[in-house]
Amino acid sequence: MCTWSLEFATCLRILSQNVFQDEDGSVHSWKLKHDKENPENNPDDYIQGLVSDLQHRQHGRDEVLGGEILEAAVRHMCGLGDAFMELSIERDGSGYAIARSIYLPSLSIFVDEDEQGGIQHYRQQIRVNPGNDDIVWSGVDQARILHFKSPNTGRYGLVPGLSQIDVWTDIKEAMADLADAARGASILPNIHTMPPDKGENYKNAYREDYESRQREGIIMDLFLSHGGKIEKLAAATPTLKPLLDNFLQLRYRMMYPGVPVFLIPGLGLEQGASKELGSAPALAYGKLINTIRSYLAKQIIWAIGLEVVLNRGYDYWLTQRPKVELEWPKFITQEMPGLTPSPQEEETAQETFISVNGSAAQTLLNS
């Protein structure tokens, strides 16, 4: 469904891009947030340099944690509920560093908990059932696993599209029904009604003559005896509108919750989309973008802390952690022209409202 559903897959693609999109259309990564008014709230120079380096760090042509590499985390997290990334730590002359990152198959990684509900280890199963040849990250190696997930009380993230699997089945059936109905409406058979006073010899001669004309090409003229007629068989579905309406509703239900309808090809121009635009879906979409960013930031800050602890110790990281916050590109939600009034239009509307409703309206607006 994440791959072949036009609606759901398009939502995932748009989400993974918009999380990193700036207001000018460019794509940027996360960065360290600086408090310019209160510099004492910023982390020290070592943390700032490390974060800047990690943000732009590459392994060959691939980014380690910045750039476009996190788009896959968004797609897997929003589509499958979880995304797992393994960090490769290497030591050079200056200390330890996260040198590389690689995604692990989401559906083969399991999180095992201890009796208290803490993470005991991560395990990649080679087969359906656990075995001795599974890959296990236990002990300090657990720190090398970044687990991007949507919020849930359990070990795994909540799969957003889980409730839409039945809809995905229905929409494939509806597509097949619609195609059959459209094809049947265009190739309905002809019914040739013979005059009541004609026998089998007449019918056979008529059929042979008609089929002979068909083989020669387009039939332009037919000469029937009195009482004979040719008509189309009535379609089982005289109109495709019920099938189209059902298919359209299924497409709406396949949308990722929070993504505006007008972003999906074929749905933005449908009747009713303008009503949804009037209820400010762009605002909800912006909140969805910020929520996904918070899931990413949690794991990115973990990776920053991992490298800091390896080089400066855990106590040092405790003093710096409250000062480490991430900043993302300023995302401007897409809006339909004409739906959002300009400041001048809004001011004019307020003046008109006050002039019509008197001082009571002025008091209401001021409150």
How many percent of the chain have pLDDT more than 90?
A: 32
Report pLDDT for 56. Answer: 92
Identify the band that residue 49 occupies on the pLDDT scale cut at 50, 70 and 90. very high
DSSP code for 195:
P
Q: How confident is the model at residue 232 (pLDDT cuts 50, 70, 90)?
A: low
Residues 242-268: tens digit of each pLDDT:
777 787 888 888 888 777 776 665 565
Note the helical H segments in 115-223.
Answer: 165-186, 200-216
Structure tokens at 294: 């918070």
Model confidence band, residue 333 (pLDDT cutoffs 50, 70, 90): low
Buried b (16+ CB within 10 A) or exposed e, 170-203: bbeebeeebeebeeeeeeeeeeeebeeeeeeeee
Helix residue ranges, H only, 24-138:
45-56, 71-80
- pLDDT over 80 at 287, yes or no: yes
Exposed/middle/buried for 9, CB within 10 Å: 0-12, 13-18, 19+? middle
Which tens digit of pLDDT belongs to each residue from 167-209? 888 988 888 887 777 665 555 677 788 888 888 888 888 888 8
Higher pLDDT, 166 or 274: 166
139 vs 274, residue with greater confidence: 139
- pLDDT value at position 345? 53
Nearest to 282 by CA among 328, 342, 335, 339: 335
Q: Tell which wins on pLDDT, 283 or 175.
A: 175
The C-alpha angle 223, 224, 229, rounded to 5 degrees, equals: 125
Average pLDDT, the chain: 80
Place of tokens 């995302």: 331
Q: Which helix (H) or strand (E) holds 291?
A: helix 281-312
- pTM for this one? 0.73
Give the dihedral sign, CA 52/72/288/152.
Answer: negative
How confident is the model over 122-156, as pLDDT tens digits? Answer: 999 988 888 888 999 999 999 999 999 987 668 89
CB-CB contact of 58 with 64 (8 Å): yes
Residue 301 has pLDDT above 90, yes or no: yes
User: Model confidence over 15-44: pLDDT tens digits?
Assistant: 888 898 887 767 788 999 999 888 899 999
Residue-level pLDDT at 212: 82
Residues 6+ apart with CB under 8 A from 228: 192, 193, 194, 195, 198
Mean pLDDT throughout 40-60? 93
Q: 16 Cβ partners below 8 Å, 6+ apart?
A: 71, 72, 74, 75, 78
In this prediction, residue 274 carries a pLDDT of: 47
With tokens 């039945």, the residue in question is 166
Q: Residue 75: is its pLDDT beyond 80?
A: yes
pLDDT given for residue 364 in this prediction: 47
- The answer to which of 10-14, 138-142, 191-195, 359-363 has the lowest mean pLDDT is 359-363
Local structure of 6: helix, strand or coil: helix
DSSP state at residue 68: G
Q: Which letter does DSSP use for residue 156 in this model?
A: S
The residues near 195 (Cβ < 8 Å, ≥ 6 apart) are 224, 225, 226, 227, 228
